[in-house]
Structure 1
């Protein structure tokens, strides 16, 4: 099973014979050590615990772990962070089903039918179906990514600088257009992210951009804003400090205007955790599982898509398909558990395809992982598979390993693992939030001497808090921040090769098509008489 993968390199064209079996064997060797398996296990456990905690999820977990991964190799860092992502997808369904308190936004739809089952003393049935649906959908989605990735990479390697620039533009515009809330606010956040991403030394001109001259001697040339804002500082400030401050102030989007409440007690064994679905129930849920997987596979690769949009679309589709079945959706139908769980895990896995193959993150988590690549001096995009195949295939193989670990934790060991996760909710909410702030502060200390990192994280956290008060989301800002260096580099390269001729972006069919797509996405919003406040 092989075909010719054409890799474009700086010294010309080179043909390489590609084999899936050899590549998967290379990935398996990369994650086959006890250290790598331990890192995957650590990631899925941490992700599961953070998935249980309402309002936190994988974004906060990954942001907190970023400073700790600086001392690891690039593959080791990605193994932990990726494990956190799909671990949180599993973990979020546990409180959603047992407590009707979704830990992850993508688990909201699962609670609609999962919690009624728990009230019928059948929580174990719902959790088993959720786990099996997540496992099957995740494995199928990873297999699809493995099959499609070489072709997408081969296509991406044939793009010139103009095509790569416009591809990043389409991704950023698409995420901005599909963002919830006001389009103008999302656009402003994307522009702010681009500006923050360009702060610091310009390697081409040797000048400091967006840094007041009066501050340069005080900050020095080896630290401060002259070296850029810093991806870790931005992640900690916007996705840990700002949400925690908003919740402490009673301004969280999860409970607007309400004071911080103490976390509820985890339930005892009286919710049916030991019950398991029958073969007929599994057979009845299988069509919903497959439909949810199909939707998640498609929506996961779209800008602004991912797990949340996939689970919502899958549940709505299931409401139409199963409207004549008993019990009805919303009253404890296992199809209402299988469909969104399959969709959100399939969407979470296929989101890796544009991120790894093209350097185009479709959602917040992929933007964080793309930034993690930059922290380890890896240029994102199609060259990753050619230059660092062990990292590329090792990450994909680790997803299968992580799904197997999560299956073992939630089925054979579920009797002990599920109560252990729910026991985290017994901790006072204020203590958890304070712990997050302390962890963010410790991570900030590693960003620079003399406490500069702490001040930077605090400043960005305050900025994120104020923007949240104004109804602005940090997703578009993060995407703009991580794409800013690539956009600048590809724009410079395209104009240099074209001797300053701006018509280079419409001379080739692919670049002209991408430019038209970006314009059409903007026209879709501009021509609407009025945009709703949210999806």
Structure 2
């Protein structure tokens, strides 16, 4: 335990520098803004800002991007409560009772409970990350090429199981992502693969181009084609801070939500999305007045919002310790680290302790900033919610094009991103989820590298992946998860969970 606080002390010394505090604030502010504005999510925003990180130091850029991610969770609760539009899947549960409270003139209480619950959850989740960081990193050092290959296979299976919609479509997206990662020169022979003699593909597809196209431009096309009607609450916001009695009543839901979110957030494959749903179910079961749920129950806001924020932060654990991105945002974080020349995985904590602990400590600072940013500025967020999307998207498109061109001073990158934008919109219309594609693309090169290394070491023996007990266990867990997911009862339950997400 002493080591945990020593390491957090190192992290605070890094995170509290003027430059990193400023970047944390910028990230939290942008995250809150994109969370508040429906149609501008953290995935698209981080994809758009990836070129900006090239001019920043690695620690500062990751602190800013992390602030955008968990800041969007705060901002998403504002939109869900005031407008009944969950910008993120994790805010679906908050919208159920939060908007009902707003309609009854208790919008301020709902927003206050969401902010306080998120701050408490974020503080505890930061300590959890610090406590689990070193043990999981030590475990990661036991991994050889075969174990890493099996770990990534397990992570991709979990991404399929926890993806919204059809399992077959999720598998197809992962396969397409892996194939796209193979475009360009072969890593051993140098021969071109899947380039179709197009000059722009000789060096492969840049992750920034794919991410900005699928998520950035794709999101713009989606919002222009399907404009949302915003029913902004006209009632008085009311008092923001709950009374001591209200806080005492909701402290238990906050703590239970924090535990659920922290545990589920560590799961590969976007387990964090399950946290709010699980918290809502638990609170309704434990409540003395379950009939109030769906009609403005404060516990139905406090618990899920705590689970939401805790899960968002503990999802950094598999990324930072094992190099395994559990969701689309973490896949973008991997891309940001690789742009900076940092290989995600267990070596990060040894080779870049300032980066690892600085990022962890910045999360607590960011959570404190978010309480300050969110509650006093509620009036401003309400006004922003009334800005039509048609006035926002030209600036977003312009910023995207400038960022893409600046990567290699090549207009072909902008054209390629526009092409992927149409692909992203087509995926949306055909009900394919793009997140598994991003995960497959990010892990594709590493998956191929570890597969080849394992086969070279074992003289081409495919049994190498089951001869190691750790590798065999990871493959068995992935296989069991897939078998359970395709069972009829589990499939029906899975559809019920994600039908509104």
TM-score range, shorter chain: over 0.9
Q: Is the 8 A contact 2:29 2:373 kept in 1?
A: no
For 1:288, the equivalent position in structure 2 comes to 253
Q: Shift in Å at residue 469 of structure 1?
A: 2.3
- Offset at residue 531 of structure 1 (A): 4.5
2:192/2:202 contact within 8 Å kept: yes
Q: Which of 17, 39, 42 in structure 2 is aligned with 1:33?
A: 17
* CA contact 1:55–1:104 (8 Å) conserved in 2: no
Partner of 1:502: helix, strand, or coil? coil
Structure 1 position 119, deviation (Å): 2.3
Distance 2:142 2:345 in 1: 12
Work out which of the residue numbers 416, 432, 447 in structure 1 matches 2:407: 447
Cα 1:205/1:527, change in 2 over 3 Å: same
Rounded to whole Å, the distance in 2 between the matches of 1:190 and 1:119 is: 42
| 3-state SS of 1:41 partner | helix
**CA 1:101–1:283 in structure 2 vs 1: closer, same or farther (change >3 Å)?**
same
Contact between 2:484 and 2:490, CA under 8 Å: does it hold in 1? no
Match of 1:316 in 2: 281
Q: What are the ranges of 5 or more consecutive residues in structure 1 without an aligned counterpart?
A: 3-18, 251-259
User: Take 2:413 and 2:91, find their aligned partners in 1: how far apart are those partners?
Assistant: 34
Q: How far 1:136 moved relative to its partner?
A: 0.3
1:166 partnered with 2:150: yes
Let me know the Cα RMSD of the aligned residues: 2.0
**Per-residue deviation at 1:121?**
2.1
SS in 2 for 1:380: coil
Which residue is equivalent to 1:11? none
1:462 aligns with 2:422: yes
Q: Deviations over 1:73-102 (max 9, x none)?
A: 111110110000111111111122223233
Determine which structure has more spread, i.e. the larger CA radius of gyration. 1
TM-score, scaled relative to structure 2: 0.94
By percentage of residues, which structure has more helix?
A: 2
Q: What is the distance in 1 between the residues matched to 2:83 and 2:222?
A: 24
Q: Which residue of 1 aligns with 2:384?
A: 424
Aligned to 2:345: 381
- Does 2:205 align with 1:229? yes
Work out whether residues 165 and 490 of structure 1, in 8 Å CA contact, stay in contact via their aligned partners in 2: yes
Unaligned runs of 5+ in 2: none
Map 1:63-82; keep pairs closer than 5 Å.
63-82=47-66
2:445 aligns to what?
Answer: 485
2: CA distance, partners of 1:99 / 1:527: 37
Q: Following superposition of structure 1 onto structure 2, how do residues 171-320 of structure 1 map, counting pairs within 5 Å?
A: 171-212=155-196, 214-215=197-198, 219=199, 224-250=200-226, 260=227, 270-320=235-285
User: Does residue 120 of the first structure (1) align with residue 104 of the second (2)?
Assistant: yes
CA distance in 2, matches of 1:393, 1:61: 24
- Say whether the 8 Å CA contact 1:163–1:505 is kept in structure 2: yes
Q: Would the aligned equivalents of 1:56 and 1:104 in 2 still touch at CA under 8 Å? A: no
Return the offset for 1:52: 0.6
Q: Distance in 2 between matches of 1:113 and 1:462?
A: 36
Report if aligned partners of 1:92, 1:103 keep a CA contact under 8 Å in 2: yes
Is residue 399 of structure 1 aligned with residue 363 of structure 2? yes
CA contact (8 A) 1:47 1:91 kept: yes
Moved more, 519-528 or 241-250: 519-528
**377, 386, 393: which one pairs with 1:433?**
393
CA–CA distance in 1 between the matches of 2:285 and 2:29?
Answer: 36
Q: Alpha-carbon deviation of 1:426?
A: 2.2
The alpha-carbon deviation at position 331 of structure 1 amounts to: 2.2
Q: Specify the alignment match of 1:5 in structure 2.
A: none
- In structure 2, the partner of 1:62 is 46
